[in-house]
Amino acid sequence: MKILVITALFSVVVFSTACKKKPEAPVEPTTIDKVCTEQFGPYYDERKYVKFHRVSFSGYLATPKSAMISNTMFVDVHEKPNRAGTLVRASFRVGTGKNQVERLGKSYKESDLKIEANNGTMLGHGSKVHIVGDVSPGGVPGKWLDGCYVRVGSVEQAQ
C-alpha cells in the first residue's frame, strides 16, 4: 500500500512539472519603425527550433481598409495618428475577451473597430496603444520582411 501511495505521489510530481508553462522570451522594447527589420528577424535556438523576437512598441490603431477574418484579424498600427508614419500589421485573436478584437460586419465603418485591452478598457480606431507580441515572418520563406507582422500577446492604452 505504501508503495502504491509513493508511486502515485511521484507520478503527480512528474506530471505537474511536465505541464508547467515554458517561460516566455524576454520582451525587447523598440520603436514601431524598427519592428520589421533584420534586427527582429526569426532566429534558431540551440536545438535548431525557429524562434521569434518578443517586442513591445507603441502606435495608433487604424481600422483596416479591408479585412479577412477567421479566428484572427489584422489591424493596422501606425507610428503617428491619422494613418501617418510607419505601418505594422498586428494580428489579434477574434472574440470578446481581453486582448481580442470584435468581429467586424460585412460593411463596417472605422468606428466599428473594438479591441478590449488587457485591463478591460475598450480601444478603437485612433487609440494610442502599447503592444507586446511576437514578430512573425509571414508566409513567404526568404521574403519575411514583405509579410512581417506582430502576433499580439497583450495590448494596453498608451499615454
The answer to whether the CB of 99 falls within 8 A of the CB of 155 is: yes
**DSSP per-residue string spanning 31-63:** -GGGTTSGGG--EE-TTS-EE--EEEEEEEEE-
What structural domains does the chain harbor? 24-157 (2.40.50.140)
Q: Note the pTM of the prediction, 2 decimals.
A: 0.79
For 56-70, how does the pLDDT look when each residue is reduced to its tens digit (9 = 90+)? 999 999 999 888 888
For 20-40, how does the pLDDT look when each residue is reduced to its tens digit (9 = 90+)? 555 667 899 999 999 988 888
